[in-house]
Amino acid sequence: MKMHKICPRCGSRNVDWIIPQNWSQCICRDCDYTGPIIEGNDELAQEIREAYVESLKDDE
């Protein structure tokens, strides 16, 4: 399985380094999460995405 850098909050692969010299600080362009990211496969990203969408429903 191929591993990707993903956002631990929403599961998105749309993440960038804030400062390239500080590789542990990243930003998610989808949910505005800032902090360390995780590596995971598409299955993990989907699980995180489903939990994130569910949490958004709970907040409404």
Task: Encode the chain (60 residues) as per-residue pLDDT tens digits.
Answer: 789 999 999 999 999 988 777 767 899 999 999 999 999 999 999 999 999 999 998 876
Residue 2 makes CB contacts below 8 A (sequence gap 6+) with 41, 42
- Output the pLDDT for position 18: 85
- pLDDT value at position 21? 74
Q: What is the pLDDT of residue 58?
A: 81
pTM score? 0.84
CA-to-CA dists, residue 46 to 1, 19, 20, angstroms: 14, 27, 27
Tell me what pLDDT residue 19 has. 78
6 phi/psi in degrees, rounded to 5: -135, 155
CA 6 from centroid of its chain's CA atoms? 4
Q: How far is CA 1 from its chain centroid? A: 18
